[in-house]
Amino acid sequence: MPTEKVQTDNPSRERVLGRIRAGLRTAVVEPTALDRGRVIFEPVSDPLERFQRECVANLMECALTVDCAASARELAQVLQSLPAGEIFVQDDPSLRRLIEMAASAAVSGRPIRWSSQGAPAEASQATLTLAEVLIAQTGSVLVTAACGGRGASVVAPCHIIYAHVAQLVPNLATALGRISQQRIFDHNSFACVISGSSRTADIEKILVQGAHGPRRLVVILQSGS
């Protein structure tokens, strides 16, 4: 895994840059800039209510829970509804605890592969991860490579996210601003804003849920400690 700066043999680099610079010497008359007072998106007044509403629009499932025990029960319920088979879990203390609490019925007999053991298997029935933030404006979850890797949110037919209400941000701009402020890409090679289950409308513009990625995206959203 290279992390050192690399040299690429680039015979045309200077030529392309030269052409760009030559082109940019042409003066172009431009219209005036945007009036800064205009508001593009309606401000989000109640992030939780908005997030839940957008989840419905995005065909996601969002279960609001009061505490860890309720979240564990919710997780058990989701897992019970799935066919037998391995699940992939981000190796994080909070998720280890949640799995332990959900235990018995749902998890027993189901092999668990932790992200510390590598990528999720192609045949995984579900993946369970955390998220960096939840975005109210668009009903989205932001995951990074730290949330179990890249495949954790796309390989299995069901992706379950365990999140806390405190992770809600009002809009996309705030979420993207946080990526910049926290220098997320200094530590992660990947981030993704996910807004619903995988889908396509390539045949007669008819919406089909569950294309190459998960058919179900479940957010277990906990409000208490």
- Which residues from 127-166 bind other proteins, rule CB under 8 A? 138, 140, 145-146, 148-155
Binding status of residue 173 toward other proteins by CB under 8 A: yes
Pairing assessment for the beta strands 216-222 and 158-164 based on DSSP bridges: parallel
* Distance of alpha carbon 161 from alpha carbon 130, whole angstroms: 5
Please, which residue, 80 or 117, has the CB nearer to other proteins?
A: 117
Binding status of residue 180 toward other proteins by CB under 8 A: yes
> Stretches 70-78, 98-106, 115-123, 160-168: which one binds other proteins (CB under 8 A)?
115-123
Neighbours of 95 (CB within 10 A): 20
Running DSSP on this structure, what letter comes out for residue 160? E
Please, which residue, 76 or 142, has the CB nearer to other proteins?
A: 142
Minimum gap (Å) between residue 133 Cβ and other proteins? 13
Minimum gap (Å) between residue 105 Cβ and other proteins? 28
Binding status of residue 10 toward other proteins by CB under 8 A: yes
Binding status of residue 115 toward other proteins by CB under 8 A: yes
Q: Give the residue among 89, 79, 78, 184 at the shortest CA–CA distance from 129.
A: 89
Tokens of 15: 């030529």
Minimum gap (Å) between residue 5 Cβ and other proteins? 5
Tokens of 36: 């800064």
Binding status of residue 57 toward other proteins by CB under 8 A: yes
Footprint (CB under 8 A) of other proteins, residues 184-213: 185, 187-206, 208, 210-213
Binding status of residue 56 toward other proteins by CB under 8 A: no
Tokens of 28: 């172009």
Please, which residue, 93 or 122, has the CB nearer to other proteins?
A: 122
End-to-end CA distance of the chain: 38
Footprint (CB under 8 A) of other proteins, residues 60-99: none
Binding status of residue 112 toward other proteins by CB under 8 A: no
| Angle in degrees, 0-180, between the axes of helices 68-80 and 93-107, rounded to the nearest 10 | 50
Binding status of residue 214 toward other proteins by CB under 8 A: yes
CA distances from 160 to 71, 148, 181, 206, 222 (A): 11, 12, 27, 26, 13
The Cα angle at residue 195 between residues 132 and 100, in degrees rounded to 5: 50
